[in-house]
Structure 1
Amino acid sequence: MIPSRRHFLRRTAQSGLAALSVASFPAAASALLPDEPATRPEPARIKPDHVVRSLPENMVWGYFGANVPAVYTVKDGDVVEIQTVNPSGVSRTNPEEFYTKNNLPIDAHAQEVIAIMKTVKPEPSGIRGHMLTGPIAIDGAQPGDTLEIRMLDLTFPAGFGVNSVWPGGGGIPEAVTSRETFVYRYDAKRKVAILKEGVEIPLKPFMGVMALSPPPETGRVSSIPPAFFGGNLDIKHLTKGTTLYLPVSVPGGMFTTGDGHGAQGNGEVSGVAIETALTLTAKFIVHKGKKLTMPRAETPTHFIAVGLDKDLNKAMKNALTEAVTFMKDELGFTFNEALSIASTGVDFEVSQVVDQTLGVHAMIPKAIFTKRKFPYWT
C-alpha cells in the first residue's frame, strides 16, 4: 500500500487533453464503419482478468443501493472488462422498432439491448434512471477506504450514438416545444460522430455514470443526480487513461457504471450527450484508510476537484472549496496561497446543468507547479 494519502493522490492521476483519444472500434462496429488504414497497426487489446457482460442478469435499471446485490466479485488490483448498453430511443414494448426505423442492424449487440429492455425491470418503488451494469464487488474494500478506478480502455460495441431534445428537458426546458431524437453515426477512420453532412463531432468517449453504492441509511436512490459516492458525474475528461477516486461506503464498494457517452460538451445542455454503448476496461485498486468526502480525479496534466449541489452557485462554491482543500492538504500550500492559485491558474467548468444535482469541476493544471513531479501510471 502507498504510505500516505498525499503520495496516493500524487501517484494516481487522471488524463487531461493529451489523453482524450478515441478508443478502438471492435468488430461489432466495423461492419458499419470504414476500416482503419491497413498501414496503421491495431493497438494491443488489454487482457482483462474478468469480463462482466451486458446481459439482463448483470443489469440494474436506474438506481443504487447498499442492498443491491453484487453481480460479480473481483480482487483488489484486478482488471475488469465491463460491457454497457445504450437504450436511448429504444422502447420496452417494441424495442426492435428503433433499429428498423433508423436503418440500423439488429446485430448481436442490438439483440442484447432488446433482451435487456424486454427482461430487466425498473425499481419497484418507481425510482428511474440509467440502464447500468453492476454492481461489482471489490474484495477487501471497506467503508473508510477509497477505490481507485483506472480507465484502461473504452471501446464502442456499436457504430452509433443518440442525442435527444424534449419539452421540459435540458438547460432551457421552457423553450423546447417538440421531442426529437438524433442518431449520430460514427466514422471510425476519422474518429468523428456525424449528425448530418457538415456536422462532425470529435469522438471522446467516457462513462457518464460511475458510482459506488451509497451507505445503507441512504436507501435506494436514482442514478440521475450525482452525489458524494459518484454516479452521474458527466465529467467529459474521464476518458481512456484517466483515474477516478470514490469513497467506499459499503463492504466491497459495489461499483456500477453505464450511461456511456461518445462525446459531450460541458453542460450537457440538451439533457443528454451522444448516448452510446461503451465497454470499459478498468483496474480497481483499494486504498485502505484513505478517506475522501467527494469524488476526485486526476489526469497526466490535471488534478480535478468536484463540486455538486442543486444550486449551481453552491456547486461552484463547493468545487472551489474542494480545489483549495486539495492544494492545501495535498500540495502543502496555505489556504490563502491555494485560493490565489485557484483564481489565477485553475479553470472551473460546468460539468452538467441537467441532472437535478448540478456539477462544477475544477481543472488544476500540474504544469503550474514547476518544482514538483507527479508520477502517473500511463
Structure 2
Amino acid sequence: MTHHSLKATKKTVHLGGFSHLLTPALIIDSGDTIDVETFTGYYIYDKAPPEFLTPEFVDICQNLPDERKIAGGPHLLTGPIYVRDAEPGDVLEVKLEAIAPRLAVGFNAIRPGWGALPEHFTQPALRFIPLDLANNIAEFPANSRIKIPLKPFFGILGVATPTSDRNSIPPGNYGGNIDNRELQAGSRLFLPIYVPGALFSLGDGHSAQGDGEVNVTAIETSMNGKISLKLRKDLSLRTPIAETPTDIITMGFAETLDAALEQALKNMIDFLKHFANLSAEDAYVLCSLAVNFRITQVVNSPHKGVHGMLPKSILSPKIIL
C-alpha cells in the first residue's frame, strides 16, 4: 500500500458535478491511503473575509479551467481519484480515517427558492461563522452562549457515472451529495462502481449540521481528510451502505420523504436478508423494532434523503462488511 497526498489546486478540483470524462487528479491502487484537501465557497469567495481565503483557493476561484467546470452545482470537489482495476459492478469501500477543518471559519447561506421554508425566507443571507478549533465548538449566534459541537464530515462522497455532466446537488446511488452527518471519521462508505477506475471525488465539508439541513447549508467548511480506498470485488450493491462505529446505515433518495423512507427501508430489509440471513418478513419486523429512520436532508432538489440506522450492538454474530 502507498500513501498519497492530494492537494486542492485548479488542476485537481472540479466544479458543479461529476463526469467520467475528467482527467484523474490521482491514480492509486486498491488499499492506498490519501491525505486530501478540499475547499468550499467557490461562488461566495468575493464576499469572504480574509481568514477564509488562501492563495490556493483564490487561484482556483479565479483561474479554474473550463474543462474542470462540469455542471451547475455549487460544490467544489477534489478529484477524481482513479483506482486501478476498478470495474463497473465492483464496490468501492471508502474509509474515512480523519476529517478536520483546515480553516477556523465556515459559512452558512440562505438561497432564495431553496430550503425547507422557501416561501417564508425569501431573501438571500450569508453568514461567516468562526470556529473555535481548540475547544471544538462554534458559537452561534455570536455572543449567544449557544455552543454547537463541531462534528466534521464530507457532505459529498461519490463516484462518476456514464453521465458526463451529472449535477452535484442531488444525491443518488453513486453517492454524491449525501449530506449524512453520521459519516464522520471512523466510518466506512460502500459505493457501487459504474465506470472503470471508479473516479471518486469528495468535498462539501461541513463542520456541523443538523439532520435535514433545513436552510440548504450547514457550517460549510474547507476541510482536510485522510481516506483509504479499497476495491471490494466480493460485494455487490445497488445503493450505498455505510458503517459507523455503532451502526449499519442504509439510504434512500427520492423526490418525497415518503418515497425516500420506503427506499431506505427496503434497502435495510435487503441488507438483513443478505448479511444476517433473515427472511424478508423477519427483517421487516426487526426494522420496526430496532432500526431508527432519520431525515438526512430535505434540500438537495430534487432528491430528499432518509437513512436507516441499525445498531451493531444488537447483532450476534457480528456482521462484517
TM-score, normalized by the shorter chain, greater than 0.5: yes
| Residue number among 36, 48, 52 corresponding to 1:98 in the alignment | 48
Q: Which has the larger radius of gyration?
A: 1
| Residue number among 243, 256, 262 corresponding to 2:201 in the alignment | 256
User: Equivalents in 2 of 1:201, 1:133: separation in Å?
Assistant: 27
Matches within 5 A, 1:135-214: 135-195=80-140, 196-197=142-143, 198-214=145-161
Match of 2:314 in 1: 368
Q: Does 1:50 align with 2:34?
A: no
| Contact 1:61/1:121 (8 A) holds in 2 | no
TM-score by length of 2: 0.94
For residues 95-153 of structure 1, the C-alpha deviation after alignment (integer angstroms, 9 at most, x for no partner) is: 3x5224xxx375xxx22111111011567785333111110101111111101000011
| Contact 1:140/1:251 (8 A) holds in 2 | yes
| Contact 1:89/1:98 (8 A) holds in 2 | no
- SS state at 1:155 partner: strand
Greater mean alpha carbon deviation, residues 282-291 or residues 264-273:
282-291
User: Equivalents in 2 of 1:188, 1:259: separation in Å?
Assistant: 19
For residues 10-45 of structure 1, the C-alpha deviation after alignment (integer angstroms, 9 at most, x for no partner) is: xxxxxxxxxxxxxxxxxxxxxxxxxxxxxxxxxxxx
- SS state at 1:319 partner: helix
User: Equivalents in 2 of 1:80, 1:125: separation in Å?
Assistant: 24
Runs of 4+ residues over 4 Å off in structure 1: 121-126
Aligned-residue Cα RMSD (Å) equals 1.9
| Contact 2:70/2:166 (8 A) holds in 1 | no
User: Equivalents in 1 of 2:125, 2:72: separation in Å?
Assistant: 24
Match of 2:246 in 1: 301
Match of 1:346 in 2: 291
User: Equivalents in 2 of 1:62, 1:341: separation in Å?
Assistant: 40
Q: 1:105 to 1:314 in 2, by over 3 A?
A: closer
| Contact 1:88/1:275 (8 A) holds in 2 | no
Q: Which runs of 5+ in 1 are unaligned?
A: 1-46
User: Equivalents in 2 of 1:90, 1:275: separation in Å?
Assistant: 11
Match of 1:117 in 2: 61
- SS state at 2:245 partner: coil
User: Equivalents in 1 of 2:2, 2:131: separation in Å?
Assistant: 26
- SS state at 1:90 partner: helix
| Contact 1:144/1:289 (8 A) holds in 2 | no
User: Equivalents in 2 of 1:262, 1:125: separation in Å?
Assistant: 26
| Contact 1:162/1:184 (8 A) holds in 2 | yes
| Contact 2:15/2:69 (8 A) holds in 1 | no
Structure with the higher fraction of residues in strand conformation: 2
Higher relative contact order (CA 8 A, sep 6+): 1
Q: 1:301 to 1:128 in 2, by over 3 A?
A: closer
For residues 176-215 of structure 1, the C-alpha deviation after alignment (integer angstroms, 9 at most, x for no partner) is: 132211222111232101221122210000000000111x
Q: Does 1:311 align with 2:256?
A: yes
Amino acid aligned to 2:58: I
